[in-house]
Structure 1
Amino acid sequence: MSKLPTHSLFFIPPPSKVSLSFKDYFSRQASNYAKYRPGYPDELYSYLTETATAHTAAWDCATGNGQVAIGLAPYFEAIYATDASASQIANAFPHPRIRYSVAPAGASELPDRCVDLITVGLALHWLPLEEFYAEVKRVGRPRSLFAVWCSDLFQVADATPEIAALIEELYNLILPMQPPEVQLVHDHYQTVPFPFEELPAPTFRQSVQWTPEMILGCVSTWSAVQRYADVRGWDGLKAWGDRLSAAWGDPAIPLTVCWDIYLRVGRV
């Protein structure tokens, strides 16, 4: 069996070893990404753990700041978390079981057949699929689990008509600016090629308690919002946030915000 890499917590290779061609919409706001992007429900990680055939090691590709890697850490002996953005990795959440490294999706530098689970949370649409799928088949052990997922747009539960209208206004404002790859998310990844032995997968419901400040912080990390701000500046979004706070009542009191998570899961 190939030897796994040693557990240095962070590994950032020289620029010559990292692909510079990946579509990078997130490095500029990596600190906000770490602060405001939510994790995923425990039920998702329990499902992945139960469906995986072993729990020695997992690879979380396009890890960002490690939201998925942190969620997997209680269940796997070692987590190898990679991202093409050095800025994202520099802002990653440390954990003794996680080894972070800067690497493109198609060149993880992990040994052959070394992991029992490979995950991509809300990032498959950014990856070069042919190269990445070849890497999945190289790195995954026989019958290892491959799982990808995406989510719907969020809604505020029990929103007043004014709050609901403001959320709809936000989407009408920014969605025309989204990169074309995001359509794959709206299709719940069902139109993405999936050359694996596919398994039935459940849908999960994510609920968080957010204030208007947290909503604006999260959406500020979206690729569509970054493109909107590049063209029109941040003033319109800040004004929208002020109106949301006014409609909220007490903006310090969080409300329930929720969305659905859609998976595709298969055996390597």
Structure 2
Amino acid sequence: MNRLKLFDTHTHSEFSPDGRMTMEEAVESSLAKGLGGISFTDHFDVEAPGDNSHFSFDPLEQQDKIDKLKSREGFFIGKGIELGLQPSAIESARKAVSLFKFDLVIASVHFVDGIDPYHDKYYDLRNEKVAYGRYLETIYQCITGYDDFDILGHFDYITRYSPYLNKSLTMKEYGDYLDPILRHLAYRGKALEINTNTYRVRNGSSPVLDNAVIRHFRQIGGELVTLGSDAHDYQRVGEGLEEAARLLISEGYRYTAYFAERKAVLVPLAI
């Protein structure tokens, strides 16, 4: 894997309100780790409820800074956005993205029925099946109602912070929810993201990515898979990407991808 040039397609810089690294730090970390490129996908949660309205940024300022960093020949720096979708804010999301030129748009769900599953409140009066199922239903609502995106971000975000013993979304248990999502992505030519931040240890346990999800996506015609660390600190840029690439190889994938000017660029998974 050492010779494989991987691309980190999901990171957060100082332009994200929770970003704890500068773009310069992230680029230096990427180069030091031998990555082929990095994309800055700062938070833009449309109509975020409560005190979360600050989860946005000025794309023009972000892109201007990226342009200044792009002088490094042979190293890709992507202009991206992590668009926080809600079923009630589809039109606002469509307008926000149409105003700017990005290399990639990640569609993510951070709020379900007005609550971020990061908070314990989301799980009150919900058992695991209801909590996980409602999250996946919301993803499906969003991606079928809004098409101007390239990548579905962290489909298993819900498992990071849940209080349940089961921390994984498996095809066996949640296939009825996952299958429609994966089929829609495959049909529309969208990318599925392996977000390695999800699989970090939190409170003594960590979710596990079910290989069957990745396998099923390929079997139904899904071709594009991106790898993202979701790093907010420069130390975590590229974290877990090699392991994710190995998983893809084991499931028969020949490529991973990154996006430039909203078009997928295939990266061979060759050792």
The answer to whether TM tops 0.5 is: no
Question: Which has the larger share of strand?
Answer: 1
What is the TM-score when the length of structure 1 is the normalising length? 0.32
Q: TM-score, normalised by structure 2?
A: 0.31
